[in-house]
Each structure stands twice: as structure tokens, then as C-alpha cells.
Structure 1
Amino acid sequence: MAVLIKLYEENPNPKDVQMAVKIIRNGGLVIYPSDTVYALGCDITNTKALERVAQIKGVKLEKANFSFVCEDLSNLSDYVKQIDSATFKLLKRNLPGPYTFILPGNNNLPTVFKKKKEVGIRVPDNAIAQALVRELGNPIVSTSIKDEDEVIEYTTDPELIYEKWHKLVDVIIDGGFGDNVASTVIDLTGNEPVLIREGKGSIEI
């Protein structure tokens, strides 16, 4: 049964953030708000937790396209190959924001992702998401939570999220109503940026 924690984006309570992160650090799965839709995630360093996320999403872990949610760009070199200054400026201009940027991964990727040549990097413009990652000390591997109802493509109501997910995850952060538009995904692994999915972020980057 998941623990439900209410956090306010204007001022996330540090004690409640610590309580949530303790669960995540111990291998727990978390559902939390971002600047787009609510996300399902876990500690990047915990393989068992990563496997649980993949199982819930019905994908093989080594083939899963999960995002690495970071607090800012300072830890980029931990998982991404060296990028040129034009790419870095583009990232700095648009992050934090509702984007997932696909970048070439380096040899420091967790073992389960070693075969992947690229990694999706997210820096949400959301104080709750940033507080969780900051307290954890490393990225949260994340994926959007979808609703089976195709009309409401994403689940936005924390109460409904809890109803549906409380037996599958360990902690659910109620950060108020979420958005129902996912992030814009842009591939930066080639010579020119390539739009993979148009979402909340403007494609005029």
C-alpha cells in the first residue's frame, strides 16, 4: 500500500521530501508531479526498482525508453558524452522546462542501460520534482503514467492516481492537479535537432 504525501510546489516541506526520498532510496517506486504529466519513477541506481517500473509499463528494461530526471544540468557529464557548446546552450536555454532531450549516453550509464546509445534527459520546471532529485542525490528514472481512457490520455487527478496505483507503487506525491500534455521530445544525437514528439514545450527552440 503506497504512502500518500501531500506537497505544495510553492514550498515543498523538507521533512515530507525526506520521507519520500527515504522510500525511493530503499528501492521504492514513486509517482510524482512534474511540469507536464505525473510520472512513475525510481532511483537510477536500484536495478530491482528499475525492473519493477519496466514490468508495470510492460517493457523489457534494457529496451525501455525511460527519462533521467535531473535537478539541473550540473550532472549531465555523469551519463552523457561530451556535447558541443551549441548543444549545451540550447539545453540551458530550454531547461528547466517541458522537454525531454535525447543525448548520446556515455559509459557511466547503469549496467541495465549499457547497451543503449542514447539517454533522455529531463529537468522539469517543478519545485517538487527538483526537491526529490536534489534530496536523492542522483537522477530519478521516470516514465509518464498513462490512462487507459484515450480521451483523457494522461491521469491528472492525484486522488484517482492513488486509487489506481496504490497497490503497485510505494509512495505517491500529491502535488495538485497535473497537466495532461506530455513533454516535447527532441533528439540531439545528430547534427541537427530532430523533433520526435510534439508536446507541451514549444518546438521553436
Structure 2
Amino acid sequence: MATYLDVHPANPQPRAIAQVVRIMREDGVVAYPTDSGFALGCRLGNADGLVRMRQIRGLDDKHHFTLLCKDFAQLGQLVQMPNAVFRSVKSLTPGCYTFILTATAEVPRRLLHPKKRTVGVRIPDHKVALAMLAEMGEPIVTTTLLMPGETEPMTEGWEIKELLDHQVDAVIDSGDVGREPTTVVDFSSGAPEIVRRGAGDTSPLE
């Protein structure tokens, strides 16, 4: 049965955030709020967590997860960014964007695109997600909580608790989430390629 935590959207309670992070450090999978709907997350080294998240979403092993980062300094340790790309990504963070970039050696091989050696990274604009990242001290491996056959991510914590009570270890509900998945931008070739249009405004990239 999943632990259910009601967290304040503007001032997340430190004790609740510490409890969530403890669950992740013990190889738990959590459902948590972001600026682009709810997401599933686990710690960077949790290989079993990746399998569980794929099972929940009905994904095959070719699905690429995103690394959620607390700030630009952390993001910069994970991916390579030429100056022009650096400026573009910097101008759009934090926000509802996922950037696909060439990974550094800091990223575990199982998270990379097998041919391109790329990984998706993002910095959320959501206080609860950022508090989790600050407490965690490392990126969170994440994927939008988009159930099989659905086109929009889940947005109600109590519904997630009912649906996934025996598939996740915790549900964090702040009552305050976005309603659209992120906009995905591939910068791996240097020029921006919009892979998916979502909550993030694409006009600065076009």
C-alpha cells in the first residue's frame, strides 16, 4: 500500500519531503506533482524502479526516461551544451521543457539512447518537485504519469492513490499540477528540433 502525503504547494513541509526522499533512497517508486502533471520517479541507481515505471505506463524497454534536475549547475553535469545551445536552454529553464542532449559520463548507460548517446533533462518550475530534488541531492529519473491509452497525464493525487496503490510506494499530493506534458526539444544536433509540443511555449525556438 502506497504512503499518501498531502504536501503544501507553496511551502512543502520538510518532514514530508524527507519521508519521500527516504522512500526513493530505499529504491521506492513515487508519484509526485510537477508543472506538467503528475510524474513517476525513482533514484538514479534504481534499475528495478525503471522496470516498475515501464510496467505502470505500459512501455517497452526502448522508452527513454528523463533526468529531473534541481538547477542549471546539476543539469550541466549530465549533458554537453555548446554555447548557443547553453543560452537557449538557460533561457527556457525552469519550465515545462524537456531537452534531449548528448550525455556526459555521469549518466548511467541504461538511461542513454543506444545509438545517439543522448538523454532527456529538465528543470521543473514546481516547488514540491524542487524541494524533493534539493533533499535528494541528485537528479531523479522520471517519466510523465500517462497511463496506457490516455493522452493527458493524471492530475489528481487521490485518483492516483486509488489506481496505483499497490504499484507505487508513495503518492505526493499538493493539489497543484500542470495539465499538459512538457514540450520536448532535441538539441543533440545543435539546432532545436521540436519532438513534442506540450506546455512549454515553442515560439522562442522557431
Fold match by TM threshold 0.5: yes
- 2:82 paired residue number: 84
Question: Once the two structures are superposed, what CA deviation does each residue of 1:134-158 show, in whole Å capped at 9, x if it has no partner?
Answer: 11111111111124564x7222111
Residue 132 (1) aligns with residue 132 (2): yes
Q: Equivalent pairs: percent with the same residue?
A: 35
- 1:155 paired residue number: 154
Alpha-carbon distance in structure 2 between the residues aligned to 1:141 and 1:160: 23
Residue 38 (1) aligns with residue 33 (2): no
Alpha-carbon distance in structure 1 between the residues aligned to 2:76 and 2:149: 39
Q: What is the alpha-carbon root mean square deviation over aligned residues?
A: 1.7
Residue 195 (1) aligns with residue 199 (2): no
Alpha-carbon distance in structure 1 between the residues aligned to 2:109 and 2:25: 18
- 2:111 paired residue number: 113
Q: 1:111 to 1:102 in 2, by over 3 A?
A: closer
- 1:72 paired residue number: 71
Q: 1:77 to 1:149 in 2, by over 3 A?
A: closer
Matches within 5 A, 1:10-29: 10-29=10-29
Alpha-carbon distance in structure 2 between the residues aligned to 1:131 and 1:158: 18
Q: Which is worse superposed, 10-19 or 171-180?
A: 171-180
Alpha-carbon distance in structure 2 between the residues aligned to 1:187 and 1:105: 12
Question: Once the two structures are superposed, what CA deviation does each residue of 1:157-179 show, in whole Å capped at 9, x if it has no partner?
Answer: 11111111111000100010433
Counterpart selection for 1:95 from 76, 93, 96: 93
> How far apart are residue 112 of structure 1 and its match?
1.9
- 2:166 paired residue number: 167
- 2:142 paired residue number: 142
Alpha-carbon distance in structure 1 between the residues aligned to 2:120 and 2:148: 24
How many residue pairs match? The answer is: 202
Residue 3 (1) aligns with residue 8 (2): no
Alpha-carbon distance in structure 1 between the residues aligned to 2:118 and 2:109: 14
Alpha-carbon distance in structure 1 between the residues aligned to 2:179 and 2:76: 31
Alpha-carbon distance in structure 2 between the residues aligned to 1:111 and 1:120: 13
Alpha-carbon distance in structure 1 between the residues aligned to 2:103 and 2:91: 21
The letter of the residue matching 2:103 is G
